[in-house]
Amino acid sequence: MSFPTKRKIVIAIDGFSSCGKSTFAKEIAARIGYVFIDTGAMYRAVTLYGIEHGAIHDGTVDAAQLETLLLRIQISFSFNEQRGASDIYLNGVNVEERIRRIDVSEYVSRVSQIAAVRNRLVHMQQEMGKQKGIVMDGRDIGTVVFPDAELKIFMTADPHIRAERRYQELLGKGEKVSLEEIERNIRERDHADQTRAISPLVQAPDAVVLDNSHMTVAQQMDWVMERIDKLTETSC
């Protein structure tokens, strides 16, 4: 007798920054037992390596030097039970927290515009998704990394609402910030993501749009689980 098994798929989540993509992707992966890959963390890890090895300093990014350094970079993920998600490792060292710091955030957008960096990371991401059963979030997952993904979600939310959420989050952490500054930064990043020459943020024609401006996480999960259930319907 054969038991019905769920078909494994690739779930690609793209969208604007501060839309809650990673939280959403992490929750999906936990519910259905998939691997979650935060591709932004990979661009951040390369940036960190560049900072630590002299290719990035004093406001400059030496693209040629970074390209050479790429050959020495190994990136891997390992599940962290406490966090309920995978931590990123750079050459065997856990850098999950380090890559979120301000120095990395300041340079990562420029590093992510370097063709050699994108080529290397896209290749690694494609290898990670070969066996399917993966939820990947980023900016170019449904368009470049997995153009054949079975489920593509394009996440968006009103910039003012995104700023308000981020503001509350930072206040909760005790950081002093102004709502206006956050909103300006979000709008600037939206513009940079959409207008960069290489792999800009665009909605794949076959992506479904999730505007979560007025949705709770629970409502977003109901929305996505319905779609996943249909796509993974049992096969024998």
Positions touching ligand DC (CB under 6 A) are 17, 39-40, 43-44, 108-109, 112, 138-140
Q: Rg of the Cα trace of the chain?
A: 18
The Cα-based distances of 9 to 134, 164, 208, 215 in angstroms read: 7, 34, 16, 25
Q: Other C-beta atoms within 10 Å of 170: how many?
A: 14
Question: What minimum distance in Å lies between the beta carbon of 121 and ligand DC?
Answer: 8
* C-beta of 6 vs 200, nearer to ligand DC: 200
Q: How far is the CB of 229 from ligand DC (least distance, A)?
A: 27
* CA distances for 157 relative to 25, 190, 233, angstroms: 16, 11, 30
Complex with ligand DC: residue 9 or 104, whichever CB lies closer:
104
114 vs 228 by CB, closer to ligand DC: 114
d(CA 233, CA 25): 20
Minimum distance of ligand DC from residue 6's CB (angstroms): 27
Do residues 212 and 19 touch, judged by C-beta distance below 8 A?
Answer: yes
Q: Which is nearer to ligand DC, 127 or 236 (CB)?
A: 127
Q: Find the shortest distance in angstroms from Cβ 200 to ligand DC.
A: 9
Q: How are beta strands 85-90 and 75-80 bridged, if at all?
A: antiparallel
Of 109 and 203, CB closest to ligand DC: 109
Q: Least separation, in Å, of the C-beta of 114 and ligand DC?
A: 10
